[in-house]
Structure 1
Amino acid sequence: MVGLGPGGEETLTPQARDAISGADVVIGYSTYIKLAKPYLTNQTVLSSGMKKETDRARVAVEEALAGKRVAVISSGDPGVYGMASPILEIAPPELEVDVIPGVTAATATAAVLGAPLTHDFAVISLSDLLTPWETILRRLDAAAAADFVIVLYNPRSHGRDQHLEVARNVVLKHRAKETPLGLVKDCCRAGEAKQVTTLGDMNIEDVDMTTTVIIGNSQTKVLNGRMITPRGYVI
């Protein structure tokens, strides 16, 4: 399993690049195959759409058991909402499986915004395709009550255009409207755009599925346009 990072060539690790270029077969979601195109030569490429993760995992294991070197690619890190778990769940003990990490959206977005994750934080996906919405809200409420910095993945789509507003209202039960909030769209890709605002002033219409949202905790501040969550060092 290979993590592509956010999608830019400069954020792809040399280990990941070598794994892709050295593979006999490259398997992935069609969008991620496009991101990996610069590293593809004569490999067999197998791509499929969303909701085909289990099928891709099965094909990957079958190809590997046939003696081929297989690279299954994910954006970000394959162990963070990625393909690592379904493959490890079905891979037989005799099959050698390596998980090659990548830069996940949380840390890439944080770097663009400043230093909002310097203290404890929680990452929560607002996609309820695989997780019940009630469970997501319970986790979000707990993270907000515990004063974690909160990173939101998959915050809004055409089919889920109300989820982010509901999520904001949950967090507002525990945090002031003035709490710093950062948005990064297409992080580390062409067209990257960032915005530092507040929890109360966030414009929901500015957010889509390629946007990552970081909500500060009670200590997060904005200095020179950058979000900073103090670690607690004496300065």
Structure 2
Amino acid sequence: MVIGLGPGREEEMTPRARQALARAEVIVGYRTYIDLIASLVAGREVVVTGMTGEVARCREAVARAAAGARVAVISSGDPGVYGMAGLILEILAGHPRGKEIAVSIIPGVTAATAAAATLGAPLMHDFAVISLSDRLTPWEVIARRLEFAAAADFVLVLYNPRSHGRPDHLHRARDIILQYRQPSTPVGVVRNAGREGEEAWVRDLATFLELPVDMVSTVIIGNSQTRVQDGRLVTPRGYRL
């Protein structure tokens, strides 16, 4: 079972995710996510790997499942959105017993929708989600996607916007988007969306880089129609009022 935990608080998990986790004999995940659900996995075998140990983590999960264990691989947010679902399926495709192992992918609330709910209703029209992490995707590809999405007037949701290893990516992304958006375009930033210590700000494209944006932040950049209404971001769907 590949389970989406949602933003992180136990109450944000779906009932289906909680039920699947309760059935698991072995829980496999990244330490930070295991810690978020410590009370739900107490007393069972837990396999933990570090931030860059995704492949080893999923191989271990598949090996345990092939040996007959009921395994839960956990992801924050939704496992099919920058999560472990795709990697598990890829590894199963090359495993000698891959076709014998039943897989359930259990969705969860992803950071885009968790942050949007905090900010108001910025995703009411077409939007694009783009990760600024170039650990697996070359920056040139990311930059091209940013340019095309900005030119098409999508609302933009930026994951992994800034880290110590790539402090300038967000600035470079903003400069690309400014070629197609006004500096006054509303921008919302949410840190720890749906988790303890959640913080949110509403600024504009010209000034949002002043905010404490980091790897646990989600940035939502409005389209040409997005507005700030009573401190909340709203992107009109187009209904006639």
TM-score after normalising by structure 2 = 0.96
SS in structure 1 of the partner of residue 105 of structure 2 = coil
C-alpha distance in structure 2 between counterparts of 1:128 and 1:116, whole Å: 26
**Counterpart in the other structure of 2:137:** 131
Q: 2:201 aligns with which of 186, 195, 213?
A: 195
Q: Structure 1: which 5+ residue stretches go unaligned?
A: none
**Counterpart in the other structure of 2:171:** 165
Q: What's the C-alpha RMSD, in Å, of the aligned pairs? A: 0.8
Q: Is the 8 A contact 2:79 2:106 kept in 1?
A: yes
| Residues 177-186 or 4-13, more deviating | 4-13
**Counterpart in the other structure of 1:63:** 64
C-alpha distance in structure 2 between counterparts of 1:58 and 1:186, whole Å: 29
Q: Is the 8 A contact 1:21 1:41 kept in 2?
A: no
Q: Is the 8 A contact 1:153 1:212 kept in 2?
A: yes
C-alpha distance in structure 2 between counterparts of 1:205 and 1:194, whole Å: 10
Q: Is the 8 A contact 2:78 2:108 kept in 1?
A: yes
C-alpha change, 1:205 and 1:222, in structure 2 (3 Å) is closer
| Residues 104-113 or 11-20, more deviating | 11-20
**Counterpart in the other structure of 1:74:** 75
Q: Structure 2: which 5+ residue stretches go unaligned?
A: 93-97
C-alpha distance in structure 2 between counterparts of 1:85 and 1:225, whole Å: 38
Provide Cα deviations, 1:36-58, integer angstroms capped at 9, x if missing partner: 21211321000010111111111
Q: Is the 8 A contact 2:162 2:170 kept in 1?
A: yes
The correspondence of residues 114-153 of structure 1 with structure 2, limited to 5 A, is: 114-153=120-159
> What count of residue pairs does the alignment treat as equivalent?
235
Provide Cα deviations, 1:171-217, integer angstroms capped at 9, x if missing partner: 00000000000000011111111000101111345101011000000
Q: Which amino acid aligns with 2:143?
A: L
SS in structure 2 of the partner of residue 96 of structure 1 = coil
TM-score after normalising by structure 1 = 0.98
Q: Which amino acid aligns with 2:202?
A: V
The correspondence of residues 87-98 of structure 1 with structure 2, limited to 5 A, is: 87-91=88-92, 92-98=98-104
1:152 is displaced (CA, Å) by 0.2
Runs of 4+ in 1 over 6 A off after TM superposition: none
Q: Is the 8 A contact 2:73 2:84 kept in 1?
A: yes
**Counterpart in the other structure of 1:14:** 15
Once the two structures are aligned, what percentage of the paired residues are identical? Answer: 60
C-alpha distance in structure 1 between counterparts of 2:80 and 2:210, whole Å: 29
**Counterpart in the other structure of 2:25:** 24
Q: Is the 8 A contact 2:10 2:37 kept in 1?
A: no
C-alpha distance in structure 1 between counterparts of 2:197 and 2:182, whole Å: 31
| Residues 12-21 or 155-164, more deviating | 12-21
**Counterpart in the other structure of 2:218:** 212
Q: Is the 8 A contact 2:171 2:209 kept in 1?
A: no
SS in structure 1 of the partner of residue 165 of structure 2 = helix
1:19 is displaced (CA, Å) by 1.2
Counterpart check, 1:38 vs 2:39: yes
